[in-house]
Amino acid sequence: MLSTELIANLTTASNLPTQLAAALTQHRARGSGGKRMAHELNYGRHFGPPPATARHAAVVLLLFRRGGQWRVPVTLRPAALAHHGGQISLPGGMVEQNETSELAAIRELREELGVAGPVSIIGHLANCYVYASDFLIRPWLAVSAREPEWRPNADEVERVVELPLERLLDPHAVDEMIIERGPLVFRAPCYRVDEHCIWGVTCVILNELAIILRNIGSLP
């Protein structure tokens, strides 16, 4: 476990994006992901080989600094949405025809959050298959050249939540929640951020980023 001082130094370092770019290659070679944060009804299906029918989607974890701290935005979806309403998610969506996954991630970031400034892609995390919706998601890690101004699309985003990377590395942020879906009642690991609980595939992806950050922090 990283000390409080190491966490603070890591998550405020000006060269963190450079460190992450180097760490991503090693991380993918090891094949380590965030499986421990999958909910108990998943049965490992997020990580199984996806079927040929899987639809491709992309999400983006946008690193930016505010108040000297590195953060990523997550979004609270409107409760009225038919799919995942009221849940916390990452900006993203389906990869359109003749579009790369990387371009889809940036397009969705701009459409959902209105980010207008320059954004640079650092690399991608492990693909994650969502069994319930048959989506194969590629998470992209990117960095904003300046502090972004949020102009969220009200049809898709009720609120933008700025998640400090320091929170991902705080063991007290990890908890468990009970999910009820009709007759199904199951437990799900989650990150607690203020009044929000982040679970499901978003939690899995954020946990993989936390693993990479811990690996960087553990280096001499």
CA angle centred on 102, ends 198 and 202, rounded to 5°: 10
Residue 218's pLDDT band, with cuts at 50, 70 and 90, is confident
Full residue range of the structural domain in which residue 142 is found: 4-218
Residues 6+ apart with CB under 8 A from 216: 10, 19, 20, 23
Cα distance between residue 90 and residue 61, in whole Å: 7
pLDDT (average), residues 94-101: 95
Decide which of 209 and 27 is more confident: 209
Segment 56-67 shows an average pLDDT of 97
Say how many domains are in the chain. Answer: 1
d(CA 109, CA 122): 15
Q: Are strands 135-144 and 55-66 parallel, antiparallel or unpaired?
A: parallel
Q: Is the pLDDT of residue 24 over 80?
A: yes
pLDDT band at 181 (very low <50, low <70, confident <90, very high): low
Report pLDDT for 188: 83
pTM value?
0.88
| CATH classification at residue 50 | 3.90.79.10
26-40, 62-76, 148-162, 186-200: least confident range? 26-40
Q: What is the mean pLDDT of residues 137-164?
A: 95
